[in-house]
Amino acid sequence: MGSTASTSELVRFARAGYPSRGDCAPGGATFLAHPSCPPRGSSASGKAYIRVLGGELRGGIFRLDGQPIVIGSSTDVNLSLPDPQALGRHAGLRYHEGKWSVEDLTGNGLSVNDISTTSRALSGGEILRVGATELQFSLEEPKSGLAEPLESKPPGRQDVLMDLVVEQGDGRDQGRRIQLFSGQEVILGRASEAQLVLHDCRSSRLHCRIEGDSREVAIVDLDSLNGTHVDGRQVQRAILRPGDTILVGRTSIRCLKS
* Full set of structural domains in the chain with CATH: 48-138 (2.60.200.20), 160-257 (2.60.200.20)
Residues 29, 69: Cα–Cα separation, whole Å: 7
* pTM of the predicted model over 0.75: no
Through-space distance between the first and last CA atoms of the chain, rounded to whole angstroms: 51
User: Are 230 and 240 within 8 A, CB to CB?
Assistant: yes
- DSSP state, residue 176: -
pLDDT grade for 102, boundaries at 50, 70 and 90:
very high
Lowest mean pLDDT among 89-103, 113-127, 242-256: 113-127
Lowest mean pLDDT among 27-41, 52-66, 162-176: 27-41
Residues 13, 70: Cα–Cα separation, whole Å: 9
pLDDT at 207: 95
Mean pLDDT for the chain overall: 78
3-state helix, strand, coil in the chain (%, to 5): 5, 40, 55
Q: Is the pLDDT of residue 13 over 80?
A: no
pLDDT grade for 23, boundaries at 50, 70 and 90:
very low
pLDDT at 30: 53
Residues 64, 139: Cα–Cα separation, whole Å: 10
Residues 122, 124: Cα–Cα separation, whole Å: 6
